[in-house]
Amino acid sequence: MAHVNRIEPDLQFIKDLQAAGGESLKKCYQCATCSVVCPLSPEENPYPRKEMIWAQWGLKNKLVGDLDMWLCHNCGTCSDECPRGAKPADLMAAARNMAYQHVAKPAIMGKLMSSPKYLPILAGIPALLFLVAWYITAGLGTPVDEYGNVLWRLVFPIMFIDLVFGPIALAVAVIFVLGVRNLIKIFNDSPQAPVGGVPIKDVLKSTWQVIKDQILTHTKWKECGSDNKDRFIGHLGIFFGFIGLFIVTAYVAVAYWLSVFTDLELYTPMSLWNPFKILANVASIALIVGLVLMTKRRLNLDDAKFKSSYYDWYLLGLIWVVTLSGMFSQLLRLADAVGFAYPVYYIHLVSVFMLFAYLPWSKLAHLVYRTVALGYARSIGRDPKPQA
Protein backbone atom coordinates (compact mmCIF):
# COMPACT_ATOMS: atom_id res chain seq x y z
CA MET A 1 0.00 0.00 0.00
CA ALA A 2 1.33 3.44 -0.94
CA HIS A 3 2.27 5.73 1.92
CA VAL A 4 -0.23 8.56 2.40
CA ASN A 5 0.84 11.92 3.81
CA ARG A 6 -1.91 13.62 5.76
CA ILE A 7 -1.90 17.39 5.21
CA GLU A 8 -2.90 19.30 8.33
CA PRO A 9 -3.18 23.03 7.55
CA ASP A 10 -2.28 25.43 10.34
CA LEU A 11 -5.09 27.97 10.02
CA GLN A 12 -3.63 30.29 12.65
CA PHE A 13 -0.34 30.35 10.77
CA ILE A 14 -2.19 31.49 7.64
CA LYS A 15 -3.78 34.34 9.61
CA ASP A 16 -0.45 35.29 11.17
CA LEU A 17 1.21 35.22 7.76
CA GLN A 18 -1.46 37.47 6.30
CA ALA A 19 -1.08 39.86 9.24
CA ALA A 20 2.70 39.94 8.72
CA GLY A 21 2.31 41.22 5.14
CA GLY A 22 1.06 38.28 3.05
CA GLU A 23 -2.59 39.30 3.09
CA SER A 24 -3.11 38.69 -0.66
CA LEU A 25 -1.78 35.13 -0.77
CA LYS A 26 -5.25 33.61 -1.28
CA LYS A 27 -5.49 35.29 -4.70
CA CYS A 28 -2.80 33.02 -6.15
CA TYR A 29 -4.11 30.43 -8.64
CA GLN A 30 -0.73 28.80 -9.34
CA CYS A 31 -0.14 30.10 -12.86
CA ALA A 32 3.65 30.12 -12.19
CA THR A 33 4.16 33.58 -13.71
CA CYS A 34 6.08 34.63 -10.62
CA SER A 35 8.65 31.85 -10.95
CA VAL A 36 9.03 32.45 -14.68
CA VAL A 37 9.69 36.19 -14.45
CA CYS A 38 11.97 36.11 -11.38
CA PRO A 39 15.49 36.99 -12.56
CA LEU A 40 17.15 35.03 -9.74
CA SER A 41 14.95 31.95 -9.25
CA PRO A 42 16.73 28.69 -10.24
CA GLU A 43 15.24 26.47 -12.93
CA GLU A 44 15.01 23.48 -10.59
CA ASN A 45 12.26 23.88 -7.96
CA PRO A 46 11.92 27.62 -8.61
CA TYR A 47 10.40 30.08 -6.19
CA PRO A 48 8.04 31.71 -5.24
CA ARG A 49 5.30 29.51 -6.76
CA LYS A 50 5.78 26.65 -4.33
CA GLU A 51 5.94 29.07 -1.37
CA MET A 52 2.58 30.50 -2.41
CA ILE A 53 0.84 27.12 -2.31
CA TRP A 54 2.49 26.18 1.00
CA ALA A 55 1.26 29.45 2.46
CA GLN A 56 -2.27 28.93 1.15
CA TRP A 57 -2.38 25.48 2.71
CA GLY A 58 -0.90 26.66 6.01
CA LEU A 59 2.06 24.30 5.76
CA LYS A 60 3.99 26.06 8.49
CA ASN A 61 6.88 23.62 8.82
CA LYS A 62 7.61 23.59 5.09
CA LEU A 63 7.53 27.37 4.77
CA VAL A 64 9.44 28.25 7.93
CA GLY A 65 12.13 25.72 6.98
CA ASP A 66 12.30 26.88 3.36
CA LEU A 67 15.74 28.00 2.22
CA ASP A 68 14.47 29.71 -0.91
CA MET A 69 12.47 32.40 0.85
CA TRP A 70 15.78 33.81 2.09
CA LEU A 71 17.24 33.88 -1.43
CA CYS A 72 14.58 36.28 -2.75
CA HIS A 73 15.92 39.86 -2.93
CA ASN A 74 12.39 41.26 -2.97
CA CYS A 75 12.89 43.18 -6.20
CA GLY A 76 9.14 42.94 -6.81
CA THR A 77 9.20 41.68 -10.40
CA CYS A 78 6.92 38.77 -9.45
CA SER A 79 4.33 41.06 -7.86
CA ASP A 80 4.57 43.45 -10.77
CA GLU A 81 3.76 40.69 -13.30
CA CYS A 82 1.25 38.68 -11.23
CA PRO A 83 -2.07 38.63 -13.16
CA ARG A 84 -4.06 38.11 -9.96
CA GLY A 85 -2.44 40.68 -7.68
CA ALA A 86 -1.37 37.96 -5.25
CA LYS A 87 1.83 39.88 -4.41
CA PRO A 88 4.32 36.99 -4.13
CA ALA A 89 7.07 39.41 -3.08
CA ASP A 90 4.99 40.43 -0.06
CA LEU A 91 4.48 36.78 0.82
CA MET A 92 8.21 36.07 0.72
CA ALA A 93 8.92 39.06 2.95
CA ALA A 94 6.14 38.06 5.35
CA ALA A 95 7.48 34.51 5.53
CA ARG A 96 10.88 35.84 6.55
CA ASN A 97 9.23 38.06 9.16
CA MET A 98 7.47 35.01 10.58
CA ALA A 99 10.69 32.99 10.51
CA TYR A 100 12.38 35.40 12.93
CA GLN A 101 9.92 34.29 15.59
CA HIS A 102 10.93 30.64 15.14
CA VAL A 103 14.67 31.11 14.77
CA ALA A 104 15.45 33.60 17.56
CA LYS A 105 14.63 32.76 21.17
CA PRO A 106 12.75 33.60 23.30
CA ALA A 107 9.86 33.41 20.84
CA ILE A 108 7.75 35.80 22.96
CA MET A 109 9.93 38.66 21.70
CA GLY A 110 9.02 37.78 18.14
CA LYS A 111 5.37 37.96 19.16
CA LEU A 112 5.85 41.40 20.72
CA MET A 113 7.56 42.61 17.54
CA SER A 114 4.77 41.37 15.29
CA SER A 115 2.05 43.91 16.07
CA PRO A 116 1.80 47.66 16.77
CA LYS A 117 -0.34 46.95 19.82
CA TYR A 118 2.80 45.80 21.65
CA LEU A 119 4.80 48.91 20.75
CA PRO A 120 4.03 50.69 24.08
CA ILE A 121 5.59 47.74 25.92
CA LEU A 122 8.70 47.69 23.73
CA ALA A 123 9.19 51.44 24.06
CA GLY A 124 8.13 51.57 27.71
CA ILE A 125 10.94 49.30 28.95
CA PRO A 126 13.87 51.55 27.89
CA ALA A 127 11.84 54.72 28.49
CA LEU A 128 11.37 53.76 32.14
CA LEU A 129 14.97 52.57 32.52
CA PHE A 130 16.53 55.83 31.31
CA LEU A 131 13.95 57.96 33.11
CA VAL A 132 14.85 56.33 36.42
CA ALA A 133 18.55 56.87 35.68
CA TRP A 134 17.88 60.54 34.88
CA TYR A 135 15.97 60.94 38.15
CA ILE A 136 18.76 59.35 40.19
CA THR A 137 21.58 61.39 38.64
CA ALA A 138 19.92 64.78 38.22
CA GLY A 139 16.40 64.62 39.63
CA LEU A 140 15.12 64.99 36.03
CA GLY A 141 16.92 68.33 35.90
CA THR A 142 19.16 69.74 33.17
CA PRO A 143 22.61 70.25 34.71
CA VAL A 144 25.59 71.99 33.08
CA ASP A 145 29.29 72.08 33.90
CA GLU A 146 31.14 75.03 35.42
CA TYR A 147 31.31 76.68 32.00
CA GLY A 148 27.61 76.31 31.29
CA ASN A 149 28.13 73.48 28.81
CA VAL A 150 25.78 70.55 28.27
CA LEU A 151 27.49 67.25 29.06
CA TRP A 152 25.63 63.98 28.62
CA ARG A 153 27.61 62.28 31.37
CA LEU A 154 26.12 64.66 33.96
CA VAL A 155 22.79 62.88 33.45
CA PHE A 156 23.73 59.58 31.82
CA PRO A 157 27.29 58.62 32.91
CA ILE A 158 29.30 56.71 30.34
CA MET A 159 29.79 53.89 32.85
CA PHE A 160 26.02 53.56 33.15
CA ILE A 161 25.61 53.56 29.35
CA ASP A 162 28.25 50.83 29.04
CA LEU A 163 26.64 48.78 31.82
CA VAL A 164 23.34 48.93 29.94
CA PHE A 165 24.46 48.42 26.35
CA GLY A 166 27.43 46.13 27.06
CA PRO A 167 25.29 43.22 28.34
CA ILE A 168 22.72 43.93 25.61
CA ALA A 169 25.40 43.62 22.94
CA LEU A 170 26.61 40.35 24.49
CA ALA A 171 23.08 38.96 24.78
CA VAL A 172 22.23 39.90 21.19
CA ALA A 173 25.43 38.24 19.98
CA VAL A 174 24.58 35.02 21.87
CA ILE A 175 21.00 35.05 20.55
CA PHE A 176 22.27 35.46 17.00
CA VAL A 177 24.76 32.60 17.41
CA LEU A 178 22.02 30.31 18.71
CA GLY A 179 19.66 31.57 16.02
CA VAL A 180 22.17 30.82 13.28
CA ARG A 181 22.62 27.30 14.66
CA ASN A 182 18.83 26.84 14.65
CA LEU A 183 18.61 28.15 11.10
CA ILE A 184 21.31 25.81 9.80
CA LYS A 185 19.64 22.89 11.59
CA ILE A 186 16.32 23.79 9.94
CA PHE A 187 18.00 23.87 6.53
CA ASN A 188 19.77 20.56 7.17
CA ASP A 189 16.43 18.96 8.04
CA SER A 190 14.81 20.18 4.81
CA PRO A 191 14.50 18.14 1.57
CA GLN A 192 16.90 20.57 -0.14
CA ALA A 193 19.78 19.53 2.11
CA PRO A 194 22.31 16.94 0.96
CA VAL A 195 22.44 13.61 2.78
CA GLY A 196 23.97 14.20 6.20
CA GLY A 197 23.47 17.95 5.97
CA VAL A 198 26.13 20.65 5.67
CA PRO A 199 28.63 21.13 8.53
CA ILE A 200 28.40 24.52 10.24
CA LYS A 201 32.04 25.28 9.44
CA ASP A 202 31.35 24.83 5.71
CA VAL A 203 28.31 27.11 5.92
CA LEU A 204 30.32 29.79 7.71
CA LYS A 205 33.10 29.53 5.14
CA SER A 206 30.59 30.06 2.32
CA THR A 207 28.95 32.86 4.30
CA TRP A 208 32.23 34.73 4.46
CA GLN A 209 32.48 34.49 0.68
CA VAL A 210 28.93 35.84 0.38
CA ILE A 211 29.82 38.80 2.60
CA LYS A 212 32.80 39.65 0.40
CA ASP A 213 31.14 38.99 -2.95
CA GLN A 214 27.56 40.19 -2.34
CA ILE A 215 26.79 41.92 0.96
CA LEU A 216 29.47 44.60 0.85
CA THR A 217 28.69 45.45 -2.76
CA HIS A 218 24.96 44.56 -2.99
CA THR A 219 25.73 43.04 -6.40
CA LYS A 220 22.64 40.81 -6.49
CA TRP A 221 20.43 43.88 -6.40
CA LYS A 222 21.87 44.96 -9.73
CA GLU A 223 20.88 41.61 -11.22
CA CYS A 224 17.19 42.01 -10.40
CA GLY A 225 15.13 42.93 -13.42
CA SER A 226 13.22 45.91 -11.99
CA ASP A 227 14.39 49.44 -11.32
CA ASN A 228 16.13 49.22 -7.95
CA LYS A 229 18.37 52.30 -8.10
CA ASP A 230 16.83 54.12 -5.11
CA ARG A 231 16.62 50.91 -3.09
CA PHE A 232 20.19 49.97 -3.98
CA ILE A 233 21.67 53.36 -3.01
CA GLY A 234 19.35 53.63 0.01
CA HIS A 235 20.43 50.28 1.41
CA LEU A 236 24.10 51.10 0.83
CA GLY A 237 23.70 54.39 2.68
CA ILE A 238 22.03 52.76 5.67
CA PHE A 239 24.40 49.79 5.65
CA PHE A 240 27.65 51.76 5.58
CA GLY A 241 26.17 54.47 7.80
CA PHE A 242 25.62 51.91 10.52
CA ILE A 243 29.10 50.48 10.04
CA GLY A 244 30.61 53.94 10.47
CA LEU A 245 28.60 54.67 13.61
CA PHE A 246 29.47 51.26 15.04
CA ILE A 247 33.17 52.05 14.64
CA VAL A 248 32.70 55.40 16.39
CA THR A 249 30.67 53.87 19.22
CA ALA A 250 33.29 51.18 19.76
CA TYR A 251 36.01 53.84 19.86
CA VAL A 252 34.12 55.92 22.44
CA ALA A 253 33.65 52.89 24.70
CA VAL A 254 37.30 51.83 24.46
CA ALA A 255 38.55 55.42 24.85
CA TYR A 256 36.53 55.90 28.03
CA TRP A 257 37.92 52.84 29.76
CA LEU A 258 41.45 53.64 28.60
CA SER A 259 41.04 57.07 30.18
CA VAL A 260 39.85 55.47 33.41
CA PHE A 261 42.71 53.01 33.76
CA THR A 262 45.58 54.90 32.08
CA ASP A 263 46.98 58.41 31.86
CA LEU A 264 45.39 58.95 28.45
CA GLU A 265 42.79 61.72 28.25
CA LEU A 266 40.30 60.56 25.66
CA TYR A 267 37.11 61.78 27.26
CA THR A 268 34.10 62.92 25.27
CA PRO A 269 32.79 65.20 23.87
CA MET A 270 35.22 64.99 20.98
CA SER A 271 36.31 67.95 18.90
CA LEU A 272 34.38 68.44 15.66
CA TRP A 273 37.67 67.89 13.83
CA ASN A 274 38.44 64.63 15.59
CA PRO A 275 38.65 61.91 12.88
CA PHE A 276 36.08 59.80 14.71
CA LYS A 277 33.70 62.75 15.03
CA ILE A 278 34.09 63.41 11.31
CA LEU A 279 33.37 59.73 10.61
CA ALA A 280 30.27 59.93 12.82
CA ASN A 281 28.91 62.94 10.94
CA VAL A 282 29.66 61.45 7.52
CA ALA A 283 27.97 58.19 8.57
CA SER A 284 24.95 60.16 9.80
CA ILE A 285 24.66 61.92 6.45
CA ALA A 286 24.86 58.53 4.70
CA LEU A 287 22.04 57.32 6.91
CA ILE A 288 19.90 60.35 6.08
CA VAL A 289 20.44 59.84 2.33
CA GLY A 290 19.59 56.17 2.64
CA LEU A 291 16.51 56.85 4.76
CA VAL A 292 15.19 59.50 2.38
CA LEU A 293 15.51 57.15 -0.60
CA MET A 294 14.00 54.17 1.22
CA THR A 295 11.12 56.23 2.61
CA LYS A 296 10.46 57.76 -0.80
CA ARG A 297 10.35 54.29 -2.33
CA ARG A 298 7.95 52.99 0.32
CA LEU A 299 5.60 55.95 -0.12
CA ASN A 300 5.61 55.54 -3.90
CA LEU A 301 4.85 51.82 -3.91
CA ASP A 302 1.76 50.80 -5.83
CA ASP A 303 -0.58 49.31 -3.20
CA ALA A 304 -2.15 47.15 -5.89
CA LYS A 305 1.18 45.33 -6.30
CA PHE A 306 3.12 45.97 -3.07
CA LYS A 307 2.10 46.72 0.48
CA SER A 308 4.46 47.79 3.24
CA SER A 309 3.89 45.89 6.47
CA TYR A 310 4.22 46.98 10.07
CA TYR A 311 7.65 45.30 10.10
CA ASP A 312 8.77 47.61 7.27
CA TRP A 313 7.52 50.85 8.80
CA TYR A 314 8.58 49.95 12.34
CA LEU A 315 12.19 49.50 11.31
CA LEU A 316 12.28 52.48 8.97
CA GLY A 317 10.62 54.74 11.51
CA LEU A 318 12.90 53.61 14.33
CA ILE A 319 16.05 54.24 12.27
CA TRP A 320 14.68 57.72 11.46
CA VAL A 321 14.24 58.43 15.19
CA VAL A 322 17.72 57.10 16.03
CA THR A 323 19.36 59.17 13.28
CA LEU A 324 17.52 62.45 13.78
CA SER A 325 17.66 62.36 17.57
CA GLY A 326 21.40 61.67 17.38
CA MET A 327 22.06 64.54 14.99
CA PHE A 328 19.87 67.01 16.91
CA SER A 329 21.45 65.91 20.20
CA GLN A 330 24.81 67.04 18.84
CA LEU A 331 23.47 70.34 17.48
CA LEU A 332 21.59 71.16 20.69
CA ARG A 333 24.65 70.32 22.80
CA LEU A 334 26.85 72.59 20.70
CA ALA A 335 24.25 75.34 21.07
CA ASP A 336 24.03 74.65 24.83
CA ALA A 337 20.25 74.51 24.47
CA VAL A 338 19.90 72.92 27.90
CA GLY A 339 16.12 72.67 27.98
CA PHE A 340 15.97 70.69 24.72
CA ALA A 341 19.31 68.87 24.61
CA TYR A 342 18.74 66.37 27.40
CA PRO A 343 15.16 65.38 26.41
CA VAL A 344 16.29 64.80 22.80
CA TYR A 345 19.28 62.76 23.99
CA TYR A 346 16.92 60.77 26.21
CA ILE A 347 14.80 59.95 23.14
CA HIS A 348 17.99 58.97 21.33
CA LEU A 349 18.97 56.49 24.04
CA VAL A 350 15.48 54.97 24.14
CA SER A 351 15.42 54.50 20.36
CA VAL A 352 18.95 53.06 20.24
CA PHE A 353 17.94 50.57 22.95
CA MET A 354 14.89 49.54 20.91
CA LEU A 355 16.95 49.17 17.74
CA PHE A 356 19.64 46.93 19.19
CA ALA A 357 18.03 45.11 22.12
CA TYR A 358 15.25 43.82 19.85
CA LEU A 359 17.49 43.34 16.84
CA PRO A 360 17.28 39.50 16.54
CA TRP A 361 13.49 39.70 16.09
CA SER A 362 13.30 42.75 13.81
CA LYS A 363 13.50 42.95 10.04
CA LEU A 364 17.09 44.17 10.43
CA ALA A 365 17.98 40.65 11.61
CA HIS A 366 18.03 39.62 7.96
CA LEU A 367 21.54 41.08 7.85
CA VAL A 368 22.57 38.00 9.82
CA TYR A 369 20.04 35.30 8.93
CA ARG A 370 19.76 36.03 5.25
CA THR A 371 23.53 36.24 4.89
CA VAL A 372 23.88 32.82 6.50
CA ALA A 373 21.08 31.48 4.29
CA LEU A 374 22.90 32.74 1.21
CA GLY A 375 26.04 31.07 2.52
CA TYR A 376 24.18 27.80 2.99
CA ALA A 377 22.72 28.08 -0.51
CA ARG A 378 26.17 28.64 -1.97
CA SER A 379 27.54 25.63 -0.11
CA ILE A 380 24.94 23.35 -1.77
CA GLY A 381 25.09 25.08 -5.14
CA ARG A 382 21.73 26.83 -4.91
CA ASP A 383 22.82 30.46 -4.59
CA PRO A 384 20.74 32.82 -6.75
CA LYS A 385 22.05 33.32 -10.29
CA PRO A 386 20.62 35.68 -12.87
CA GLN A 387 18.81 33.88 -15.65
CA ALA A 388 20.17 34.17 -19.17
6-33: per-residue pLDDT in tens? 677 778 888 878 777 777 888 888 888 8
* Per CATH, domain 11-103 is 3.40.190.10: no
Checking if the pLDDT of 304 tops 60, the result is no
Helix (H, G, I), strand (E, B) or coil at 167: helix
Query: Where do the domains of the chain lie?
Result: 11-103, 113-379
- pLDDT grade, residue 288 (50/70/90)? very high
The residue-averaged pLDDT of 235-248 equals 87
The residue-averaged pLDDT of 203-220 equals 78
Q: What is the value of pTM for the model shown?
A: 0.84
The residue-averaged pLDDT of 268-273 equals 80
Selection from 171-180, 226-235, 369-378 with the highest mean pLDDT = 171-180
pLDDT digits (tens, 9 = 90+) for 183-193: 888 888 887 78
pLDDT digits (tens, 9 = 90+) for 80-89: 888 888 888 8
Checking if the pLDDT of 388 tops 50, the result is no
Checking if the pLDDT of 283 tops 60, the result is yes
Mean pLDDT across the chain: 84
The residue-averaged pLDDT of 35-55 equals 85
Residue 387: the pLDDT is 47
